[in-house]
Every structure is written in C-alpha cells, then in structure tokens.
Amino acid sequence: MSETATTAPDIGERIVHKTFPPISRHTLALYCGASGDHNPIHVDIDFAKAAGFPDVFSHGMLVMAYLGQALTDAVAPDRIRSFSTRFAAITQLGARLTCEGRVTELFEDKGEKRARLALTTKDDNGEIKLAGEAIIAL
C-alpha cells in the first residue's frame, strides 16, 4: 500500500509481502553481535547437538525483526499504531522466510481510519514460524 493511496484496502488484501535470503551461520553470528544475544544454541553446532537439536537455529527476535522490516517496507512507520507477534516454531538454519500481512478488519478509532493486519512469517515449506498483527492508520 503506497503512502499516497486514497482508497482503503479491501478485507483480505495482502499489503505486506517480502521474502528474505536463507538464514546463514554468518547471519546468526552478525545478529549475535548486533543484539547482544550470544546464546550458543544459535551459533555453536556442538552445543546445539548436545541440547538435542540437529543444528543451530535462528533467534526468535531475528525472525520478528524480519517481519518488522517487511511491515515498515510496506507501511510508513508513522502510520503503524501497534505491532505484536507470537512465536510459533523454531526457524532452522537455511530457512528462506516470507513475511506477509493481510487486511482482516477496517475500522475507525477516535476519528482515524485504520486497518488491522494479520501477519505471518513462513518458511519455504509453508510452516508458520511467527504470527501476529498490526494496526495501521490509513
């Protein structure tokens, strides 16, 4: 949805859509440094295997950051009134994530026209990794 749009979106309309490159070990290492989350489960294969996992896996907050980026690529940040998520599944190394947001409701709050978006992040197998919602001003 462009910032200059003059008509409200339709219920069911997809206004957020972005696919990211596969999550690599390099991406996870960079995210450790940027976030300060140095949990070895995300970067140390021996640690991950000792914990019962086949390999390291993504930080949940990295997946949330991807969804946030997809949202702000589609909607100007000053139009976002809320953004919330819940983690649904572990995101494996190598996953290619696609973030989407569809309009589920159109309403008015204190004179401002708004839309509620259902947000998802799925891997290339279609498994939902993150789900949430956003409310945006139209």
Give the pLDDT of residue 15.
96
Structural domain contains residue 44: no
Residue type, 65: A
Q: What is the pTM of this model?
A: 0.89
Q: Rounded mean pLDDT of 37-59?
A: 95
Structural domain contains residue 7: no
Instruction: Tell whether the model's pLDDT for residue 2 goes beyond 70.
Output: no
Instruction: Tell whether the model's pLDDT for residue 6 goes beyond 80.
Output: no
Are 70 and 17 a contacting pair, CB within 8 Å? yes
Tell me the average pLDDT of the chain: 94
**Containing structural domain, residue 84:** 14-23+58-137
Q: Rounded mean pLDDT of 118-130?
A: 97
Structural domain contains residue 28: no
Residues in Cβ contact with 63 at an 8 Å cutoff, skipping those fewer than 6 apart: 87, 91, 97, 121, 129, 130
Number of domains making up the chain:
1
Convert 94-119 to b/e letters by CB count within 10 Å (16 or more is b).
ebebbbbbbbeeeeeeeeeebbbbbb
